[in-house]
A = this chain, B = another copy of it.
Amino acid sequence: MSNEVIFRDDMTVELVKSSASDADVIWAARVSTAGEQSLDEIGEDPARSAGLINYLARERHGSPFEHTSGEQSLDEIGEDPARSAGLINYLARERHGSPFEHTSMTFFVSAPIFVFREFMRHRIASYNEESGRYRELKPVFYIPSKERKLIQVGKTGAYTFEDGTKEQFDISVKAMKDAYLIAYDSYQKMLDAGVAREVARVVLPVATYSSMYVSMNARALMNFLSLRTAREGSHFPSYPQREIEMVAEKMEAEFAKLMPLTYGAFEKSGRIAP
Residue of B nearest to A199 (CB): B150
Structural contact, A195 and B157, CB atoms closer than 8 A: no
Q: With an 8 A cutoff between CB atoms, is A128 at the interface?
A: yes
Chain B CB within 10 A, most for which of A17, A194, A212, A213: A17
Name the distance in Å between A197's Cβ and chain B's nearest Cβ: 7
Residues of B within 8 A of A102 (CB): 106, 126, 128, 213, 215
CB-CB under 8 A from A206, the residues of chain B are 113, 201-202, 204-206
Contacts of A189 in B (CB 8 A): 171, 175
Contact string against B for A residues 191-229, beta-carbon threshold 8 Å, 1 for contact and 0 otherwise: 001111111111111110001110101000000000100
Please indicate which of the listed interface residues A24, A65, A128, A151 has the most CB atoms of chain B within 10 Å of its own CB: A128
* A16 CB within 8 Å of chain B: yes
Q: Is A236 an interface residue (CB 8 A)?
A: yes
Query: Could you tell me if B17 and A24 are in contact, using CB atoms closer than 8 angstroms?
Result: yes
Of A33-41, A51-59, A73-81, A254-262, which stretch is located at the interface? Answer: A33-41
Hey, which chain B residues are within 8 Å of A126, CB to CB?
98, 101-102, 217
Of B38, B120, B241, the contact of A198 (CB 8 Å cutoff):
B241
Chain B residues within an 8 Å CB radius of A175: 185-187, 189-190, 200, 203
Residue in B40, B134, B195, B198 whose beta carbon sits within 8 Å of that of A171 in the complex = B195
Select one of B14, B29, B200, B211 contacting A128, CB under 8 A: B29
Q: Counting CB contacts under 8 A, is A12 at the interface?
A: no
Q: A17 to B65, Cβ gap below 8 A?
A: yes
A150-B196 contact, Cβ under 8 Å, with A64-B16, A128-B28, A175-B203: yes
Extra 12 A-B pairs, beta carbons < 8 Å, given A32-B213, A33-B134, A198-B241:
A18-B19, A28-B213, A31-B128, A32-B131, A36-B135, A37-B157, A41-B156, A94-B237, A95-B236, A150-B195, A168-B193, A205-B206
Chain A interface residues (CB < 8 Å from chain B):
14, 16-19, 24, 27-29, 31-34, 36-38, 40-42, 64-65, 68-69, 90, 94-95, 98-99, 101-104, 106, 108, 112-114, 116-117, 120-121, 123, 126-135, 142, 144, 148, 150-152, 155-158, 161, 164, 167-168, 171-172, 175-176, 178-180, 182-183, 185-187, 189-190, 193-207, 211-213, 215, 217, 227, 236-237, 241
